[in-house]
Structure 1
Amino acid sequence: MLITDPVNDFFNKVKHERVLVMVALDVDALCACKILQALFKCDHVQYTLVPVINKSQLIKEFEEHKEQYKHIVLLNCGGNIDLLHILDPSEDISFYVIDSHRPIDLVNFFCEQQIYMLLKHDEDEIAAIPDYDSIYRDYDSDDEDSENDETEQVSKRHRFDEATLEKRRERKKWEEKRKEIIFDYEEFSFYGPSAAMLVYELAWKMSKDNNDQLWWAITGVADQFQNKKIGRDKYVSSVLELQGHMSRLNHRDEDDDNTKSVNSVKISFEHDLDLALYRHWSLFESLCHSLPTASAFKVWTNMGIKRLHQFLAEMGLPLTQCKQNYSFMETKMRDNLQSLVEESAEKFGLRNIKYQSFSAQCGYNHRLCASDAVYSVGALLEKLYSKDSQAAGENSNFVDSLDSLSRVTAPKMQDGLELAKLQLQAIKSSVSSFIDIGQILSYGPFLYTAVREGMPDYKYFGKPIFLNLFSHFLLNSYVRSLNKTKRERAKNLPLVICAPFNVDDGTTIIIGIPPLADESRKNLFGNAFLHAAERTKSRTSHESFDSSIITLKNEDLSKFLDALITIMS
């Protein structure tokens, strides 16, 4: 059921109750969680936080807590699965779903009780939801009145009048149309508005928003854009909304300037360089490990490194300055860096090197860009996916990730930045080796590659956030490495990548990403993986909240890929 008034239909309903908050393990969900925690703190709401990795853990945690809690909030989980079917809750339990995964499950959307969906009412995705009458219809039984009359039953068995046949034809036609409508609706998976953005708008409507909450909303939106969940158009639309909130809060802070602490968070809007962690790294390292520049210069080749040196020379930046930490560069060079990069970018084929972004500053510390926060929190979160952490039931990295968001200057945020650098280095070296040895293959309707056990850093690849980031990095770099003719074709091909998931269980993680040419970021692999598994009876597990990520038994990989090629051809 769609919530029309989130303040009264959601918050005012739960603020006097004990609430269970289930949080998916992605940056956007954590940011939404931080905003919700702040709102609960204002009204002294009792709540329990539970991180959930996948559908199985969602079911497990629900079973453990369903006796103590009757109000359950789901952040970036549950929106695209039939909750009543998989959880079988009692009638006194209510779910409040704040989820950016699309498409929305139709049972959840049309359920008039128990499930309440918090969505944007002007959202295009809502307009795409089929009409209730086109997918749900009641039929009256022709034999209902004469069920106990044996004579009538016998006579009806032999009576095929025109009206009865017409009803059957109409019903069959309607059922075929229903299947077609549902298939069209569920064909692609994609992402809607950020969960953090939705919760922030709730805080704004309650007049309880502040700069901290705005920063979390900004980080949630940045996570969607940085991890290629949404296209540039959707991102810019969200940025414009956030910019309006920033201007309002800054104006309010100016009025209260005398009482404002020097250590309070200050947010600024800017057109920033799309370079990974450059304020916390050296410029040279950042250029080598950022997707736009690494793929444009082809830094995995000697010629690419030579072109990168030429690019720095064109800007008039000495190599000694570029290879030391950004904070130690000469002030004049730092101040002019953005204009220098922008001026030289076009000559070297760098497009969209700048983008609309926000940064936060606390006191006199260095500014933190929203994309840097996403890298940091994502790196901290990934450690939770290790086998040891799951076996021991430890949630320490979930807590660390939340803690890193508590303040812009939090020590855990700095720890995450260092971990993110290691991850980016692993991505760059792996991309280089994949392209050098020609490990990306064309399987007809899609490109395919696999991470082999024993490769350097291969353990990173069993983690969804890292694997998704690597996939986009690899696809961009591969397309850039081709000649013009092959490049045009490759731009329209999606990528499937496999990596070891659990060596002991003999399972592989598979992820599919849309082609570069598709700016909508709609992903067709969710349904394709499901049909391929059904057709081959492969032992797959569709546990992820993102349907384009599955796990599979190693022995079934070959026949699964064959079926996938057939389905997508």
Structure 2
Amino acid sequence: MLITDPVKDFFQKIIEERVLVMVAQDVDGLCACKILQSLFKCDHVQYTLVPVEDKQDLVTEFDSHKEQYKHMVLLNCGGSIDLLEILEPDDDVMIYVIDSRRPIDLVNFYCERQVYLILKQNQEEAQLIPDYDHIYRNYDSDNEDSDTEYEQSSKRHKFDQETLEKKREKRIWEEKRKEIIFDYEEYSYYGTSAALILYELAWKMSKDDITMLWWAIIGVTSQYQNKKIGREKYISSVLELQGHLSRLNHREEDNENTTSIDSIKINFEHDLDIALYRHWSLFESLCHSLNTGTTFKVWTNLGMKRLHQFLAEMGIPLTQCKQSFAFMETKTRDNLQTLVQESAEKFGLRNIKFHSFTAQCGFNHKLCASDVVFSVDSILTNTESSKPESYEDNSNFVDALEGLSRITSPKLEEGLQLAKVQLRAIKNNVGSFIDIGQVLSYGPFLYTNIKEGSPDCTLFAQPLFLVTFSHFLLHSYMRSLGKSKRDRARNLPLVICSPSPQEGSTMVVGIPPLSEESRKNLFGNAFHHASERTKSRTQHHFFNPAIITVVNEDRSKFIDALITIMS
């Protein structure tokens, strides 16, 4: 059931209860978790925090805690699956869902009790929800009555035209229902950030502060940076955040007690869409950024030559470009954005700047929201944990939360160094894939396969990393084509297969084509149909429906069925 007043129908109902909070392991979910933790701290709410990676984790953790907790909050998980069916909660269990994934499961949406959705829907999303009468209709009771009438009347008339007419109407209605549900569930996509929803809840209760706003900013930025939402959706969210920032800045100016040098200061500005450039050298950042790296085609000798020409056009000596940003000349650092933008158009760089936020604490260097996203993402996908075995399962989650705690956190710095390692791995592998022609056209989509034992195979076993790599690879492949082929290829999505951590199985990921600005993904539905058609042994246990695992022996027939379905 959709909650219209989250303060009254959600927060005030759990404020005196013991609460179980289950969090999906993505940046937006963690930011939402930090905001909720702050709200709980204000009102001394007792809670237990549990990270969940997939649907199996969700069921396992629910079963192990359902005896102790009757109020549960799901952050960025559960909204798109039938919770009543998968969890089978007792009648006194209340489940509150704050999830940015779409489409929302219709059972959750129309359930009148137990499952409560805290969402922010725009007009377009609201119009996509089918009417209740089109999905649910009390035909069962009608049929029971009509069957009884038929049995009685058959003794007298042997034929009942009214009963047959009702059965025909029911069959037509069921066929129409299937069409409506298919259209509704055809694409998976993302709505408003869970962190932004919880921040607005804090604002409505007058409990928001500048730190909560920073977490909401990071949550929204992660959606855009990880290609979950398009530029238009991102800008609309940014404008909301900018309004809140102006309000909080005015409030702090009026309060003399908030002028501590250690307090966080946030600025709204246009920033360069270049990965980690404040924490790396300009040369390395340009090589390993999605926009610049793919535009220059840095995996080729000609591409590196064009990159050097770009730097020369800006008038920045190569020695400065290859040293840390902090040690560049002050004049060059101050004018870097202008220099890059003036030369970008000449070299075909589009959208080199974007609306963003930076934060600063004391005399530390500025930290861009996108830098934090890179850091936390890399911590969540870290495969080299030094924690003891008993702590290892949740160590990445705990480290990521610690990294978000403050902008001067040592964990955040560790994450930035991990992000550089992962970006280098992406660049090296993308270059190899393009050079040996490993991306193939399978008709309705592009296809590639990561072989077992490949370099960085432990990273490719991480779904978050694999999705990021897929976007880099798709953009790079487009740039490697001639102009005549590029227009057609822009409309082709990408399917990538990688060895799964589960022995004898393969992880399959599908991402939408570059032409799909809204980032709607049709692979979740297509994977289900391909699996059913071929009776392939697949597991659809990830919260992202466009990521599945398939048994190795069934992979070929599964891909063949996918080609047929999407043709």
TM-score between both structures, scaled by the size of structure 2: 0.97
Q: 1:541 aligns with which of 517, 539, 542?
A: 539
1:197-216 alignment, distance < 5 Å: 197-216=196-215
Task: Return the offset for 1:556.
Answer: 1.1
Seen in structure 2, the aligned counterparts of structure 1 residues 146 and 527 have a Cα distance that, compared at 3 Å, is closer
Q: Distance in 1 between matches of 2:65 and 2:84?
A: 16
SS at match of 1:394: helix
* Corresponding letter in the other structure for 2:450: V
* Corresponding letter in the other structure for 2:145: E
1:97-108 alignment, distance < 5 Å: 97-108=97-108
Q: Is the 8 A contact 1:384 1:390 kept in 2?
A: no
Task: Return the offset for 1:141.
Answer: 3.5
SS at match of 2:510: strand
Task: Return the offset for 1:390.
Answer: 9.5
Q: Distance in 1 between matches of 2:79 and 2:121?
A: 16
Partner of 1:85: 85
Task: Return the offset for 1:153.
Answer: 6.1
Quick check: 254-263 or 553-562, which moved more?
254-263
1:28-427 alignment, distance < 5 Å: 28-139=28-139, 140-141=141-142, 144=145, 147=148, 152=152, 154-155=154-155, 158-161=158-161, 163-383=162-382, 394-427=393-426
Task: Return the offset for 1:259.
Answer: 4.1
Q: Distance in 2 between matches of 1:160 and 1:304?
A: 78
Task: Return the offset for 1:454.
Answer: 1.9
SS at match of 2:145: coil
Q: Distance in 2 between matches of 1:157 and 1:336?
A: 92
Q: Distance in 2 between matches of 1:79 and 1:391?
A: 30
Task: Return the offset for 1:35.
Answer: 0.2
Partner of 2:438: 439
Task: Give CA-to-partner distance per residue, 1:395-427, whole Å, 9 cap, x none.
Answer: 111111000000011000000000000000000
Partner of 2:550: 552
Seen in structure 2, the aligned counterparts of structure 1 residues 389 and 24 have a Cα distance that, compared at 3 Å, is farther
SS at match of 2:142: coil
Task: Return the offset for 1:127.
Answer: 2.0
Task: Return the offset for 1:145.
Answer: 8.5
Q: Distance in 2 between matches of 1:486 and 1:145?
A: 61
Over the matched positions of the two proteins, sequence identity in percent amounts to 68
Task: Return the offset for 1:160.
Answer: 2.7
Task: Return the offset for 1:370.
Answer: 0.5
1:531 aligns with 2:524: no
* Corresponding letter in the other structure for 1:477: S
Q: Is the 8 A contact 1:543 1:550 kept in 2?
A: yes
Task: Give CA-to-partner distance per residue, 1:149-208, whole Å, 9 cap, x none.
Answer: 9982642782132x2232222111111111111010000000000000000000000000
Seen in structure 2, the aligned counterparts of structure 1 residues 156 and 262 have a Cα distance that, compared at 3 Å, is farther
* Corresponding letter in the other structure for 2:489: A
Seen in structure 2, the aligned counterparts of structure 1 residues 151 and 362 have a Cα distance that, compared at 3 Å, is closer
Task: Return the offset for 1:350.
Answer: 0.2
Q: Is the 8 A contact 1:494 1:515 kept in 2?
A: yes
Q: Is the 8 A contact 1:384 1:398 kept in 2?
A: no
* Corresponding letter in the other structure for 2:376: V
Seen in structure 2, the aligned counterparts of structure 1 residues 349 and 145 have a Cα distance that, compared at 3 Å, is closer
Q: Distance in 2 between matches of 1:549 and 1:496?
A: 10
Q: Distance in 1 between matches of 2:390 and 2:562?
A: 33
Partner of 2:21: 21
Task: Give CA-to-partner distance per residue, 1:117-148, whole Å, 9 cap, x none.
Answer: 0011545212210010111101243663895x
Task: Return the offset for 1:310.
Answer: 0.3
SS at match of 1:492: coil
Q: Distance in 2 between matches of 1:111 and 1:33?
A: 25
Q: Distance in 2 between matches of 1:522 and 1:121?
A: 16
SS at match of 1:544: coil
Q: Is the 8 A contact 1:345 1:353 kept in 2?
A: yes
Seen in structure 2, the aligned counterparts of structure 1 residues 143 and 126 have a Cα distance that, compared at 3 Å, is closer
Q: Is the 8 A contact 2:153 2:160 kept in 1?
A: no
1:480-519 alignment, distance < 5 Å: 480-502=479-501, 505-519=503-517
Q: Is the 8 A contact 1:389 1:395 kept in 2?
A: no
Seen in structure 2, the aligned counterparts of structure 1 residues 501 and 523 have a Cα distance that, compared at 3 Å, is same
SS at match of 2:542: coil
Quick check: 533-542 or 438-447, which moved more?
533-542
* Corresponding letter in the other structure for 1:370: A
Task: Give CA-to-partner distance per residue, 1:309-361, whole Å, 9 cap, x none.
Answer: 00000000000000000000000000000000000000000000000000111
Q: Distance in 2 between matches of 1:54 and 1:450?
A: 23
Task: Give CA-to-partner distance per residue, 1:276-313, whole Å, 9 cap, x none.
Answer: 00000000000000000011100000010000000000
Task: Return the offset for 1:505.
Answer: 1.2
Task: Return the offset for 1:536.
Answer: 1.1
Seen in structure 2, the aligned counterparts of structure 1 residues 179 and 412 have a Cα distance that, compared at 3 Å, is same
Q: Is the 8 A contact 2:383 2:459 kept in 1?
A: no
Q: Distance in 2 between matches of 1:217 and 1:182?
A: 33
Q: Distance in 1 between matches of 2:144 and 2:336?
A: 80
* Corresponding letter in the other structure for 2:98: I
SS at match of 1:489: helix
Q: Is the 8 A contact 2:154 2:160 kept in 1?
A: no
Q: 1:520 aligns with which of 518, 521, 531?
A: 518
Seen in structure 2, the aligned counterparts of structure 1 residues 123 and 12 have a Cα distance that, compared at 3 Å, is farther
Partner of 1:466: 465
| Structure 2: unaligned runs, 5 residues or longer | none
Q: Distance in 2 between matches of 1:100 and 1:385?
A: 30
Task: Return the offset for 1:436.
Answer: 0.3
Where has structure 1 moved over 6 Å in runs of 4 or more?
A: 388-393
* Corresponding letter in the other structure for 1:66: K
SS at match of 2:381: helix
Q: Is the 8 A contact 1:385 1:463 kept in 2?
A: no
Task: Return the offset for 1:467.
Answer: 0.7
Give aligned pairs, total.
566
SS at match of 2:22: strand
Task: Return the offset for 1:555.
Answer: 1.4
Q: Distance in 1 between matches of 2:150 and 2:208?
A: 70
SS at match of 1:222: helix
Task: Give CA-to-partner distance per residue, 1:57-109, whole Å, 9 cap, x none.
Answer: 10000000000000000000000000000110000000000000100000000
Q: Distance in 2 between matches of 1:470 and 1:143?
A: 55
* Corresponding letter in the other structure for 2:178: K
Q: Distance in 2 between matches of 1:53 and 1:475?
A: 26
Q: Distance in 1 between matches of 2:57 and 2:547?
A: 16
* Corresponding letter in the other structure for 1:557: R
Task: Return the offset for 1:452.
Answer: 1.1
* Corresponding letter in the other structure for 2:434: I
Q: Is the 8 A contact 2:121 2:191 kept in 1?
A: no
Seen in structure 2, the aligned counterparts of structure 1 residues 506 and 167 have a Cα distance that, compared at 3 Å, is same
Q: Distance in 1 between matches of 2:335 and 2:98?
A: 42
Task: Return the offset for 1:538.
Answer: 1.1
Task: Give CA-to-partner distance per residue, 1:198-221, whole Å, 9 cap, x none.
Answer: 000000000000110000000000
| Structure 1: unaligned runs, 5 residues or longer | none
Task: Return the offset for 1:537.
Answer: 1.2
